[in-house]
Structures are given as C-alpha cells and as structure tokens.
Amino acid sequence: MSEPNILLNVNGIEVIYNHVILVLKGVSLTVPEGGIVALLGGNGAGKTTTLRAVSNLLAGERGAVTKGTIELRGDRIEALSPAELVKRGLIQVMEGRHCFAHLTIEENLMTGAYTRTDGKAAVQQTLDKVYAYFPRLKTRRTSQAAYTSGGEQQMCAIDRALMANPTMVLLDEPSMGLTPQIVGRCSRS
Ligand SMILES: Nc1ncnc2c1ncn2[C@@H]1O[C@H](COP(=O)(O)OP(=O)(O)OP(=O)(O)O)[C@@H](O)[C@H]1O
Ligand SMILES: [Mg+2]
C-alpha cells in the first residue's frame, strides 16, 4: 500500500520482450504528488521500457511486466488497459511526436480532451492555458499538423497530453526537436 502522498509507486518490476529478452530487472521508483522525476541513462538503458510498463503500452511491442507491482495512488494498475489508464489521468507523450497529420494543431489538441466530462467551458480554459505554455501553437492553430515543423509537432504532442487535464504525464524524450530557449523556459516553469 502506498503512502498517501505517493502518486506513482513502481516496485521491483521486471520486463521481458518476446518472452525471452530480459530488459528490466528489479526497477523501483516513486513519484510524489506534484513532483517531477527524471529517468536518466544511456541508450538502451530501459527508460522507454519503464514508461511503457507504467502506461501499459508494452503489449504492442511484444513485451510484458512479469514481476513486481505498479500502483497509482495506491491502486494496482498493471492489469488496466492504456485506455483505462488515460481515463484515470495517466497520459504518456511518446517519443517522436505522433500528431495526427491530417488534423489541424487545434484539432489535435482537442483530441486530448476526448475523455473529459467536465464541460466545454473547462476544456476551453485548458486550451487557453496550453496555448499560453507554447504561444507558437496558437499562431499555427489552423495549420494541418503535417505542415508544421518538428518542434511545433512536439509542442503539440505535449499540449495535447495536458488537454486531458492529467493526473500524471509520462514524457519520453520531451525536449527532442525543441529549441534550447523553449527547453530552458519549460524546465524553469
Ligand atoms: N520491442 C522490443 N523488442 C525487443 N527488445 C526491445 C524492444 N524495445 C526495446 N528493446 C530493448 O530493450 C532495451 C531497452 O530499450 P529502451 O528503448 O527502453 O531504452 P532507452 O533507455 O529508452 O534508450 P534510448 O535512450 O535509446 O531511448 C534495449 O536493449 C532494447 O534493445
Ligand atoms: Mg528511449
């Protein structure tokens, strides 16, 4: 059972790909409510795998958590589908942007609010907030994502996650493609 101020508790997980490739062994970490935790490590260290384990995106990669437990606010979540995890406010921004190319920037952002049930006004408020984080996106709001730059697509992917009004965001390589000024501003705010 987690302590009350622990948002995420990953306890001794093991991850195996393709039934044989052992990639994570005994990985444990906790994220406190309101806290930020960074995973650092060389290429192939297992950062992406750890995030995929938490958001239950391993199955699509023929991977599985074979030992250990993962708790969100004290509830075991290993068996929950990625969709159920999103409904609980756990949102992953995968490495490599993954915007809907044929939708505009604003349409992409609105897809992030799909699971919300707190009404249009609240969603609009969040939209204003995320545009304030990345004003560049507001100027590109009617552009098709396919025709925006790599950095703009990365901003869009991050803001789309925030549109869900999440409890927790898992960011894989969040600064990829962003200018140092924006990275610096994000890490200060
Ligand atoms: N789908 C997969 N099938 C088999 N092995 C995989 C798969 N995905 C990752 N791996 C292996 O798992 C290990 C960890 O990979 P992972 O992508 O988690 O590392 P990472 O820390 O995110 O690295 P990077 O900094 O390069 O993004 C690597 O040895 C990699 O080859
Ligand atoms: Mg990675």
In this structure, what CATH number is given to the domain that contains residue 34? 3.40.50.300
- Give yes or no: residues 73 and 12 share one domain: yes
Ligand 2: centre distance to CA 98 (Å): 15
3-class secondary structure, 60? helix
pLDDT of residue 3: 65
pTM of the model: 0.92
Domain membership of residue 94 (yes or no) is: no
Look up the domain containing 141 and give its range.
Answer: 105-166+174-188
Q: Is residue 97 part of a domain?
A: no
Looking at 40, 62, 88, the residue that finishes a domain is: 88
Q: Are residues 74 and 134 in the same domain?
A: no
Ligand 1 contacts CB of residue 25 (under 6 A):
no
CA pseudo-torsion sign 29, 130, 91, 18: negative
At 109, list the tokens: 């952002």
Specify the ligand 1 atom closest to the Cα of 46.
18
| CA distances for 124 relative to 83, 89, 92, 166, angstroms | 23, 18, 22, 15
Question: How many structural domains does the chain have?
Answer: 2
Inside any domain, residue 98: no
Residues 62 and 16 in one domain: yes
My answer on whether 70 and 123 are in the same domain is no
Rounded distance, CA 97 to CA 90, Å?
A: 17
- Is 31 within the bounds of a domain? yes
Residues of the chain with pLDDT under 70: 1-4, 187-189
Q: Both 84 and 109 in a single domain?
A: no
Decide whether any atom of ligand 1 lies within 6 Å of the 60 Cβ.
no
